[in-house]
Structure 1
Amino acid sequence: MSLRRRRLVIPAAITLLALLAAGPNAQASGADSVHSAGQGPTLHAQTWRAVEFTLHSTVDYADPYRDVDLVATFTGPNGQRLTMPGFWDGGTTWRVRFAAPTPGRWQYTTSSTDAANTGLNGHHGTILAARYTGNLAIYRHGFLKTSANNRYFTYADGTPFFWLGDNQQSNLTGQTRLYESNDPRFPSMFKGIVDTRVKQGFNVIWNETFANNGGNANEGGPDWIGGTFHTLNPEFWDNIDERIGYIAGKGVVDAIAMGVGSSLTDASKDLLPEYQRLARYMVARYAAYPMVWLTAQEFDAPGNCAQCWEQVAQVFADTDPYRQPTTLHNYPIYAGGGVQPRDESWYGLVALQEGHNRVDGVSDYWLKQYQQTPVRPVVEAEANYEGIDVFWDNHAIVQTWQTRESAWKARVGGVAGNDYGAAGVWWACYTPDDPDWNCQNFGSTPWNEGLFLPGAAQMGYLKAFFTALPWSRLAPAPTAIAWAATAPTDTQLAFASATPDRSHTVVYYPHRLDGGAPYRGSLTGLPRGHYVMKWFNPRSGQYTSAGSFTVTTAHGSAQLPPELTAADDWTLLVTRH
């Protein structure tokens, strides 16, 4: 396969963004031209939007991916400095991508590990960044970071970010078609999935390159030529560029992993330098987009080299000049996982996995995670993918109520975000007869049916409910309610989350698995004031009045109404006016 090839779509899109920001007098030659002199063109961009420039190596390396490294140092207003690695993109072509975090003049200088390579060393240029003028929140407010109290995520300017993710683990691979579809509603399978999830309210997508465990390909060809970690194929990555560029163009954050943790085991830890190099390459290509570095899924499964994966994650964290959150996805705690390097400065969040066909209680699962120290934001990243066949558990099919209940329990238990997964979409299945192993074993739901399972809309209802509140001030409140003896004490115990001043209290009532009587209990520790109660139906997104009451003494109490139907889950919102 030739490594000298045509330029794919995403760099053209980046160039177009730069030209649009520049205005009607911009010159098209500015954003993707090769200059033999050290002085490059002046590029125009908007803050937080990716722009790139191209260099051509004057040395023909036998293995450019490994033989030389390139970096560009950007100096902005007030002396702000960011260092971004460059990446080899086939032949003699190298590229650097950058997103200006502040408006103004940014100047860059390039250098490489080969001092004699005048094509890569000593190039200078200017980026004039105007403030972003669009309506996408991730660019109006900037890339993600953890909050000051390490409980949730914010944009760069401190605005709280409500994480609602969708797991689409195969959507950077050929399993999810980029240029074709078998559904007339969507010319592109990939774009149809992304567009639908955006309409449903999702703002994070979990995907994986699977470029670390062999046998993977997309429309650009295989990830490696001659075997895993042999010869990198830039066309594979160009195809991923187009996909990640599309996700970023929708204002969605990309939570990206290399692949499965079992690809780096205790027996193969001598490959660690290859994984670290690949992490650096991924940062070079994608750090100028809104990202979370998920690194690997189930990194701490028995037999995996968990400490190796921690070193790979540190490369993501240390190389990304924007310091976007970095983590590792846990193997289920009940199955022997749950390693959390909370003491490490690079560890930005807990990417938890409850598992599938699971019914857990708040206080013994999510609340325990919330209470651990050092404090880190917790994301319930994999819980009860809706509609999948749990083939290892007597072929149980995950029910919608399980998916919905895990999300709500996690939220009132203090998580900073949760990810949804649906049969036929978490791993894309083109048809009911798709021969892919995951499709054959986890159920035969095709992607265009799984995309509209009811749980997706219900995740949107959850997001709408919380974002209408001062949700970032809510915290688990295990002592806010005194329950009657008839209330469940197991996984179905109702639980509350409240603001410190008790101006807002959220009570989630799981449905009664035992068929017992409705919940009975009292809110306690209430300040004086008048309170209004509303039922929220998490299945339909509708509110119903639940009455009101007045507290006239300090640390007062009030009787809670029983849920409307014991066979369903309900959410009670209590606000002080």
Structure 2
Amino acid sequence: MQGPARLYHGIVCLVHHPGIGELIMTRRIGLLAYGVLSALLCLGAAPLSPLRVSDNGHFLVTQDGTPFFWLGDTAWSLTKLSNDDIRLYLTDRAAKGFTGIQVTGGFNEDWMGFRESPFLDGDTDRPRESYWRHVDFIVDEAARQGLYVDLVVMWGQAYKQAFDGDAEKARRLGLWLGTRYRDRSNVIWVVSGEYDSINDYVPTLSDEQRALFVAMAEGLRLGHGGRQLMSIHPGAPASSAPEFHQEPWLDFNMLQSGHMDDAQAWQCHWSGGRCGEAYELVAMEYDRRPVKPVIDAEPIYDTKPDGFYMGAPGPGPRVGEDVMRRKAYWAVFAGAFGHVYGHNDIEIFYVPGEPTSNGQRGHWQKALDAPAAGQLRHLRTLVESRPMLTRIPDQSLIASDPGRGIHHAQATRASDGTYAWIYLPTGGSVVANLERLAAPGTASWFDPRTGQTIPVGGFVNRGTREFDAPGEVRSGNDWVLVLDVQIARSADGKGE
């Protein structure tokens, strides 16, 4: 079957989308032949560069080694929108400095909403072509806007109804999806959303459950031939690593730090103690071997009630821009390769009057201009302003008490000591260990709300020194202490 014309940077391409029956024949004649056919149908296309893992294992880069900062937005239910609304959303996110989005492709949970069902009679061996052409439009329009797409196959719980324990059926769908999107260089595969929902959020999967996800991943990889990165999204607060870190198809770990303002104030019954905060979860995976990149793919959403899914005594007050910035800077400074933002009204593209049980309250279009959505680009700008691939987490930069709860200070620096940053989520003072810097330099305060800096003055790289952030100590008065050494730095962002 010949698919619709596809536009890449002004060049029209014809795309062939084989059915699952055709793919069985394709496997017999070889995927190489299919790849040649695809190339002939789309000569001259110039898509976004595919991403790969950096040589040091902690970051993502383009194919030529250029560092890439993932600033993602959560758009689980984007498929329910019209093409015009999809363009509106993607244009807005690109203009605000986002570099990627998260979208659910296959079966959604009921609360996410459907435009139409992705499979005829719910049979994954019978994809509904009109639905998947709509997904094609999302992926291609995102590419036109310079955005990558974390494409989630389906939610974990949906694996039950879709496959009923049949791993080979999951593999067939993975092969079909991987083949269909193999030439979309802006696609990153997420094998499942909240994969542990297949097990009612009990973290340890049965062998049969795990086999479904592995088969899907192997089918995807066979289909795209290793061209696209892959991961899997867990429930909260958890990481993909305990179940899947050793899998060869898992290119990076995803976290869900969870829908809590201060995670350490909550008890996680499945772990037998307090919940882990974003910086703790990231640090654990940063140190895991073999080294793989890590990202917090789901912190608490903007305007979500605190502890919404945690039971008593919640839910608490709705959170805002201060919490969004705090979670992002914590995670990135702890070693994440980027960050994913989400707004409670945008995740399902809510319109007042629609049914919801997840705390939505306002129109998604109004939520596009939430303050945090425009502020997180300053984190991206800061990270991209210095060599990215040599950046390491280093709490030894903090010679004073780093604080607890929402006051926790998080530090990062270049491995060669040419720059260092300390994030203070509530302002106040910090004693910096200047001996972690390579030479004397200058200090300044970076404002996460505006991206502007306030000069402090020079420092020598001996002993310690106390720095006082502007303003009073309170949530929302967050600052980054920036320490720059006065020696030549690489300007290409690749480090030295």
TM interval, shorter chain, is: 0.7 to 0.9
Partner of 1:400: 321
User: Measured at CA, do residues 434 and 490 of structure 1 come closer, stay the same or move farther in structure 2, by a change above 3 Å?
Assistant: closer
Pairwise CA distance, 1:127: 6.9
CA contact (8 A) 1:280 1:316 kept: yes
Among 237, 242, 247, the alignment partner of 1:339 is 242
Deviations, residues 281-311 of structure 1 (Å, cap 9, x unaligned): 1112212111111111111343462342133
Partner of 2:440: 530
Tell me, yes or no, if structure 1 residue 557 matches structure 2 residue 463. Answer: yes
Partner of 2:330: 409
Distance in 2, Cα, partners of 1:296 & 1:66? 24
Partner of 2:215: 311
Among 369, 374, 379, the alignment partner of 2:285 is 369
Among 11, 26, 35, the alignment partner of 1:71 is 26
Partner of 1:203: 99
Q: Which has the larger radius of gyration?
A: 1
User: Measured at CA, do residues 159 and 230 of structure 1 come closer, stay the same or move farther in structure 2, by a change above 3 Å?
Assistant: closer
CA contact (8 A) 1:509 1:569 kept: yes
Pairwise CA distance, 1:215: 11
Tell me, yes or no, if structure 1 residue 191 matches structure 2 residue 140. Answer: no
Distance in 1, Cα, partners of 2:262 & 2:32? 46
Pairwise CA distance, 1:236: 1.3
Distance in 1, Cα, partners of 2:259 & 2:278? 16
Among 504, 508, 511, the alignment partner of 2:419 is 504
Distance in 2, Cα, partners of 1:411 & 1:237? 34
Q: Secondary structure at the match of 2:297?
A: strand
Q: Secondary structure at the match of 2:192?
A: strand
Distance in 2, Cα, partners of 1:346 & 1:461? 32
Partner of 2:352: 432
Aligned amino acid, residue 407 of structure 2 = Q
Partner of 1:35: none
User: Measured at CA, do residues 191 and 528 of structure 1 come closer, stay the same or move farther in structure 2, by a change above 3 Å?
Assistant: closer
Pairwise CA distance, 1:158: 1.2
Distance in 2, Cα, partners of 1:217 & 1:442? 15
> Structure 1 length normalisation: TM-score?
0.72
Distance in 1, Cα, partners of 2:225 & 2:75? 26
By percentage of residues, which structure has more strand?
1
Partner of 1:83: 32
Distance in 1, Cα, partners of 2:75 & 2:151? 10
Pairwise CA distance, 1:159: 1.0
User: Measured at CA, do residues 126 and 422 of structure 1 come closer, stay the same or move farther in structure 2, by a change above 3 Å?
Assistant: closer
Q: Secondary structure at the match of 1:231?
A: coil
Partner of 1:183: none
Distance in 1, Cα, partners of 2:426 & 2:112? 43
Among 399, 406, 409, the alignment partner of 1:494 is 409
CA contact (8 A) 1:379 1:418 kept: yes
Distance in 1, Cα, partners of 2:482 & 2:24? 55
Tell me, yes or no, if structure 1 residue 479 matches structure 2 residue 416. Answer: no
Q: Secondary structure at the match of 1:255?
A: strand
CA contact (8 A) 1:218 1:239 kept: no
Deviations, residues 168-203 of structure 1 (Å, cap 9, x unaligned): 00012x2x232xxxxxxxxx2211111100000111
CA contact (8 A) 1:269 1:308 kept: no
Deviations, residues 381-436 of structure 1 (Å, cap 9, x unaligned): 0001101245443254122211110000001100011110012211111x22223x
Pairwise CA distance, 1:562: 1.4
Distance in 2, Cα, partners of 1:321 & 1:350? 20
Among 50, 60, 70, the alignment partner of 1:143 is 50
Deviations, residues 247-280 of structure 1 (Å, cap 9, x unaligned): 1221211110112111224996523322221111
Distance in 2, Cα, partners of 1:522 & 1:441? 42
User: Measured at CA, do residues 288 and 300 of structure 1 come closer, stay the same or move farther in structure 2, by a change above 3 Å?
Assistant: same
> Structure 2 length normalisation: TM-score?
0.83
Gaps of 5+ in 1: 20-30, 33-51, 56-63, 75-80, 86-97, 99-107, 111-124, 133-137, 179-187, 513-517
397-406 vs 526-535, which moves further: 526-535
Tell me, yes or no, if structure 1 residue 445 matches structure 2 residue 369. Answer: no
Query: Percent of pairs identical after alignment?
Result: 20
1:210-359 map, 5 Å: 210-211=106-107, 221-229=116-124, 231-265=126-160, 269-289=164-184, 290-301=186-197, 302-303=199-200, 305-333=209-237, 339-359=242-262
Pairwise CA distance, 1:72: 9.0
Deviations, residues 451-502 of structure 1 (Å, cap 9, x unaligned): 1111111111111111111122110012122115xx5245522121011121
Distance in 1, Cα, partners of 2:17 & 2:363? 41
Q: Secondary structure at the match of 1:384?
A: coil
Distance in 1, Cα, partners of 2:340 & 2:105? 18
Aligned amino acid, residue 289 of structure 2 = T
CA contact (8 A) 1:166 1:206 kept: yes
Q: Secondary structure at the match of 1:456?
A: helix
User: Measured at CA, do residues 268 and 12 of structure 1 come closer, stay the same or move farther in structure 2, by a change above 3 Å?
Assistant: closer
Distance in 2, Cα, partners of 1:202 & 1:373? 30
RMSD, aligned CA:
3.2
Distance in 1, Cα, partners of 2:361 & 2:181? 33
Among 425, 449, 455, the alignment partner of 1:545 is 455
Question: RCO greater where, 1 or 2, for CA within 8 Å and sep 6 or more?
Answer: 2
Aligned amino acid, residue 309 of structure 1 = F
User: Measured at CA, do residues 340 and 373 of structure 1 come closer, stay the same or move farther in structure 2, by a change above 3 Å?
Assistant: farther
- The structure 1 segments of at least 4 consecutive aligned residues displaced by more than 4 Å after TM superposition are 14-19, 125-132, 212-219, 265-269, 360-363
Deviations, residues 103-145 of structure 1 (Å, cap 9, x unaligned): xxxxx369xxxxxxxxxxxxxx85795594xxxxx63xx2001
Q: Secondary structure at the match of 1:259?
A: coil
Pairwise CA distance, 1:218: 5.9
Q: Secondary structure at the match of 1:260?
A: coil
Aligned amino acid, residue 477 of structure 1 = D
Distance in 2, Cα, partners of 1:82 & 1:267? 26
CA contact (8 A) 1:534 1:547 kept: yes
CA contact (8 A) 2:163 2:170 kept: no
Distance in 2, Cα, partners of 1:216 & 1:453? 21
CA contact (8 A) 2:100 2:148 kept: yes
User: Measured at CA, do residues 214 and 386 of structure 1 come closer, stay the same or move farther in structure 2, by a change above 3 Å?
Assistant: closer
